[in-house]
Structure 1
Amino acid sequence: MADKNAEIDDPDSDSDSDEYEYDTPTIPPRAAFRRFWPLTRGLRKWLLLVWVCTILAALAETEAILLFGELTDHALNQGSLSAFWTPAAKWLGVAVVGAVVAYAGNSLAAWATERFVMRLREHVFDHVQQLPPHFFQVHRQGDLLSRLTSDVEAIETLVVSGLVGAASAGFSALFYAAAAFWLRWDLAAATFVLAPLFWLAARRFSGSIKDVSRAGRVADGAITSVVEESLGNIVLTQAYGRRDAERRRLHEEATAWFRASVRATRLNEAYEQLVQVIETVCVLAVIGVGAWEISTGRMTLGQLLAFAAFLGYLYPPVRGLAQLGLTITAATAGAERLIEILDVRPSVTDPRHAADTGRPDGAITVRDVAFRYPGADRDALRGLSFGVSPGELVIVTGPSGAGKSTVSKLLLRFYDPDTGEVRLDGIPLRDFQLTRLREYVTLLPQETLVLHDTVRANIACGRPGASDEAIEAAARAADAHDFVVRLPDGYDTRIDPGTARLSGGQLQRLAIARAILRDSPVLVLDEPTTGLDAMSARRVLRPLRRLMAGRTTLMITHDLNLAPDADRILVVDRGRVVETGRHEELLARGGAYSRLHRSQNNAVMDTGELRMPVFPETGAERAAEAWVGGGAGQGYYPGDAGGAEYYGYDVPAPAPAPEPNPYAGYDPYHPYYGHVPPVPQTYDIPQGY
């Protein structure tokens, strides 16, 4: 498979175009063929051999028809049995040779066809894996699956099967026509006057068939998306009683597919019947003229039968060529949908000359970084700057939408900053080879990646080829070994993304084992305790600490229970660092972090917003409780009109309220571990802090 990554990208495409807009291009079949023809590199000699087999098979059929005419004139017409054996033996020999050659050609064509499909599918899949995360927010997964399956097969029809079919039909038509002219050129010339009617019929139907084929493929992708989304969220579907709603969604998409399919069938059937009428006219003309020729003695019965046979053999390939044109036109719709994906450029690429470094120490520098997602109307990060020393644990926290997770995407170089730069050990991330960089930085995302495979394979995906001993050692370090060995087949138990065998905490410990096995110098933990109840989160903390030991760790989280362990805390808001320091320092400062900490400890439940209890309080108590900001003239009251948008109140910063015991009032059903006072009533604080 040395050629599987053959370049097929359009060199004239505009790489500077907006990545967020994905418009399906409209291209002619010839351009689509040229676009994907490079993927046949390495297969072309076999396709040439298929052509040779096709030519030999067509010659064998032509010779067989001529022998049929000879057999008719010398054996059947004269009633001579002795004249039968020689042409019969020749006919049988030609038929055997033709069958062997046809079998070899068809078998080789099937091999080349499937090889092309596999190569194209791998190429597209490899390309899709390099695309930025926002691409998958624009395209539904079911539609992408449809493009990787049915659209790929349509392109195979356009490039390989179409080429083989055109060769077979073309050579057959050529030989049959030549033989017909050799028998009676005047009769053949009169017959072929009607041949352009086949081309005109195909041209008349091609545009409509392409349109309905495109609509059918879009509808097919939509059906796959609806099924994938519904079954992938089956618990939500059942819990919210969405059975009828999901059925209506499927019905709408299926109706669009039904209409496109029925219209395509009608168009194809109309074309077939029109061609059948044209063929009938031609055959009747030949029989009529032939009967007159025989009556005048200018033509024998054997010649007429042979000519009629050639005509009968000639029209199918001629009709096939016209039908092939319609098929290729329809396949172009699939090519357009696939080219739409292939024209999307990865947001990051490897440098021409990658930095030649060993394993880094893990020093991270983010310097004056600004970044806006493609298609967004505001910056996710604006002038973000901070540094992390090797082995340091830094927690990044802040309100939702502040830009915390964007930091992790830049560290793994899913995107490059618009301005500023991110460095690892003083080297810009742009200078690292992507695969090497992502070996140095391990991400532990919010949702645990689960492969449809064994527990062993799920852990080993962090380091393919790891020994069983290393996998088990990583599982022990992640406190996962005990529950793994209790599974029916231990480490060989198969799990899948929707598995009910393991709890969320157990899956998280498998993810930690995977990260331990990967042994990268830099860790990025994105909400490592999100979705876990208090008991599960506590069980995860110990293996998390083992994982972080000796590694540079950037933890992005709303959960501040690990904050006392952090060497430093960064509070991010509106794409900037607004506070930095240790846990105790930030609490004593009484600023944004203190406010976040109190809101978490006082929250009855995590709603994703800051919700504070409302108690009868004096103005001074309100000032002490509601103040957000730094020193005098730098804070604001979130409860005031305008909320977080109003700055610059000339009010002295209040002294911080005494912090409650973080483990007092422990509630096992609460997502955090903090103090839970009775709350008779709540009000919403605007997003911002």
Structure 2
Amino acid sequence: MGFSAGAGTDAPTVAPIVSIRKTFRRFWPYTRGLRRLLVLGVAAAILATACEIAAIRLFGLITDEVLSTHDLTAFWAPALAWLGLALVAAVASFVSAYGAAVGGERFLLRLRDSVFDHLQTLTPDFFENRRLGDLMARLTDDIEAIEELVASGLIRLITAVISAVLFSAAAFWIRWDLALVTFAMIPAFLLVSKAFASRFRRAAARERFSNGVMNSTVEEALSNQSVVQAYNRQAAEAGRLHEAGRGWLTANLWQARLSALYGPAVQVIETVCMLVIIGFGAWEIAAGRLTLGGLLAFAAYLAYLYPAVQGLGEIALTVSEAGAGSDRIMEVLRARPAVTDRPGARTPSAPVRGHIEFLDVGFTYPRRSRPTLSGLSFSALPGELIVCTGPSGAGKSTVAKLLLRFYDPTEGRILLDGTDLRDLPSDVLRNRVTLLQQENLVFSGTVRDNIAYGRPESSQAEIVEAAVTAGAHDFIRGLPQGYNTPIGQRGRLLSGGQRQRIAIARAILRDTPVLVLDEPMTGLDEPTAARIMEPLRRLMSGRTTILITHDLRLVPDAAEKVVLEAARDSGRIRLRLSRQHGTSVPSP
């Protein structure tokens, strides 16, 4: 498991080492359809390397036959060949770099989409127990780290291996004994890379954690700016961000320190190698066993060889950085949805009536020992209004979550028109139930986009009709662009009442046979609640409605009440159910 940046998490747990084999086995399938691009990138890189080898050989030839002999007539043929090789190498390098970029970016898009799709199948408690900023970091930085290994990193690895082999062969062809002397230094590159790899892995894990904390701090503070300013907590929030930023700064400086040390260490090894080459080569030239052009070509081959070998060492660093990201993404993908469709779940052929039945339902939230609901039984006939009331913590909102199959009951059954909800595909069930929550959640976009969110194919006439029914049409007409007016992130450009009416219009337009209203009047004074109840009554008309509320001021007298009462008995919660008609409900 990787570290979990949940609420209250203050320090990272370094992700375990994830081997190349495990990472590739998990994420290589995402390259399906992109592998031709990766092969093209490798092939073009090999062609560019071959051109460079031939160009270096021509450089040695020009040195020996033109510069040493002062014979200018021997210059033109190799010079033109060199120019042709340079042009071919330039085109090949472009194809390699662009092919790798296209393949890598498409891999990123595909993997991010897949992880996000999986996240959307997970139940609300998964998100409640994790920092939003950390999840954002996983969808960005961690996925990029995986791409640098599996897609573009694979191209770099293959290219580095082939380049090292080709430049080594060219150096051997010039002087095998001199090549053996210099190749003895290659293990030094690999040892340095190995020594830095584990440190880079720990630094990468710490940077990922710190980045997630900082993103969460920014998102939380900006989302709650009205509260921050109302309570004069700007300085406190700035301090929180500063502390999170300092943690991120420390992690980045640790990475920078390692990078700053790694480069000079490799450079010292390269310098030693070049000095050995020059010294040994000068001795060979003095003895007449090597020409100046041969020595320069040999040195040039090694000048290309060592970066290729260094690139192989850097792959280890890439693996180390990808290890933390790979484990964090795997942790998300290992998380299982709390509910899944049963094999054979199908859509009933009978028309939807909206008959809801809770039969001896009990439920305990994950990672909790006490039940939230126990022995709950009631029914709501088609078109009937059921009011579910009781004190906070009695499980009122849990009724809505179970009805929408965010969770399945741990005991008992819930039926819709006689069919167990677990025998219905989740999407079919949720197309038959509309949830109107206490917090009127809207999205950035236009008024029209938000009303049509549940039925994006709706016509303009249908959208307007829903808005009229919800009592929203008049204020929408007064907006600068009417139904095409952008409302800002989370609807910040609208008042709370306006957002509520848009949410009601959205529910009206969806037009499902079952309606769940979760505390729709919380925080409203009586006149405002009365105004909101008018469109709500129109919304409830003809639908099976479960109204979850602790505020019974405006509940219709004919409504049937389901009262959840939480009583403590020896430290354990016992839930009792009572039903009655009328507005007189015993105090829980």
Distance, in Å, in 2 between the alignment partners of 1:500 and 1:251 is 26
Counterpart for residue 4 of structure 2: none
CA contact (8 A) 1:504 1:531 kept: no
Which of 182, 190, 193 is equivalent to 1:191? 182
Which of 144, 167, 172 is equivalent to 1:181? 172
Which of 373, 377, 382 is equivalent to 1:390? 382
1:86 maps onto 2:86 in alignment: no
Counterpart for residue 245 of structure 1: 236
Shift of 1:24: 7.5
Shift of 1:550: 0.8
Counterpart for residue 28 of structure 1: 18
Shift of 1:500: 4.7
TM-score, normalization by structure 2: 0.94
In structure 2, relative to structure 1, the CA distance for the partners of 1:23 and 1:351 (3 Å cut) is: farther
CA contact (8 A) 1:360 1:425 kept: yes
Counterpart for residue 441 of structure 1: 433
Secondary structure of residue in 2 paired with 1:453: coil
Distance, in Å, in 2 between the alignment partners of 1:261 and 1:502 is 40
TM-score, normalization by structure 1: 0.81
Counterpart for residue 578 of structure 2: 579
CA contact (8 A) 2:354 2:383 kept: yes
Counterpart for residue 160 of structure 1: 151
Distance, in Å, in 2 between the alignment partners of 1:476 and 1:562 is 22
CA deviations over 1:495-549 (Å, ceiling 9, x no partner): 1245454222221111111011101110000011113333322221111111111
CA contact (8 A) 1:449 1:497 kept: no
Counterpart for residue 542 of structure 1: 534
Shift of 1:52: 1.0
Distance, in Å, in 2 between the alignment partners of 1:325 and 1:269 is 17
1:277 maps onto 2:307 in alignment: no
Which of 525, 534, 543 is equivalent to 1:533? 525
Counterpart for residue 4 of structure 1: none
Secondary structure of residue in 2 paired with 1:365: strand
Q: Which residues of structure 2 form unaligned runs of 5+?
A: 2-8, 567-573
Secondary structure of residue in 1 paired with 2:360: strand
In structure 2, relative to structure 1, the CA distance for the partners of 1:377 and 1:497 (3 Å cut) is: farther
Shift of 1:563: 2.5
Distance, in Å, in 2 between the alignment partners of 1:577 and 1:505 is 35
Distance, in Å, in 1 between the alignment partners of 2:409 and 2:159 is 55
Which of 226, 231, 254 is equivalent to 2:217? 226
CA contact (8 A) 1:367 1:384 kept: yes
CA contact (8 A) 1:477 1:546 kept: yes
CA deviations over 1:288-317 (Å, ceiling 9, x no partner): 010000011100111000001101111111
Counterpart for residue 295 of structure 2: 304
Distance, in Å, in 1 between the alignment partners of 2:501 and 2:439 is 12
Shift of 1:370: 1.1
Shift of 1:32: 2.1
AA paired with 1:306?
A
Distance, in Å, in 1 between the alignment partners of 2:59 and 2:475 is 78
Q: Which residues of structure 1 form unaligned runs of 5+?
A: 1-9, 11-20, 588-592, 596-688
Distance, in Å, in 2 between the alignment partners of 1:560 and 1:360 is 30
CA contact (8 A) 2:60 2:297 kept: yes
Counterpart for residue 621 of structure 1: none
In structure 2, relative to structure 1, the CA distance for the partners of 1:339 and 1:25 (3 Å cut) is: farther
Shift of 1:23: 8.2
Structure 1 residues 476-485 or 491-500, which shifts more? 491-500
Shift of 1:364: 0.7
Distance, in Å, in 2 between the alignment partners of 1:309 and 1:321 is 19
CA contact (8 A) 2:37 2:99 kept: yes
Shift of 1:577: 4.6
Secondary structure of residue in 2 paired with 1:561: coil
Distance, in Å, in 1 between the alignment partners of 2:527 and 2:195 is 70
CA deviations over 1:70-106 (Å, ceiling 9, x no partner): 1111111111111001111111111111111111121
Which of 98, 122, 132 is equivalent to 2:123? 132
CA contact (8 A) 1:162 1:328 kept: no
By relative contact order (CA 8 Å, sep 6+), the higher-ranking structure is 2
Distance, in Å, in 2 between the alignment partners of 1:481 and 1:24 is 54
| RMSD between aligned residues | 1.8
CA contact (8 A) 2:444 2:490 kept: no
Shift of 1:450: 0.9
Q: Whose radius of gyration is greater, 1 or 2?
A: 1
Distance, in Å, in 2 between the alignment partners of 1:39 and 1:350 is 25
CA contact (8 A) 2:37 2:102 kept: no
AA paired with 1:63?
A
Counterpart for residue 454 of structure 1: 446
Percent identity, aligned pairs only, is: 51
Distance, in Å, in 2 between the alignment partners of 1:519 and 1:27 is 51
Shift of 1:142: 1.2
Shift of 1:355: 2.2
Shift of 1:566: 4.4
Which of 110, 114, 121 is equivalent to 2:105? 114
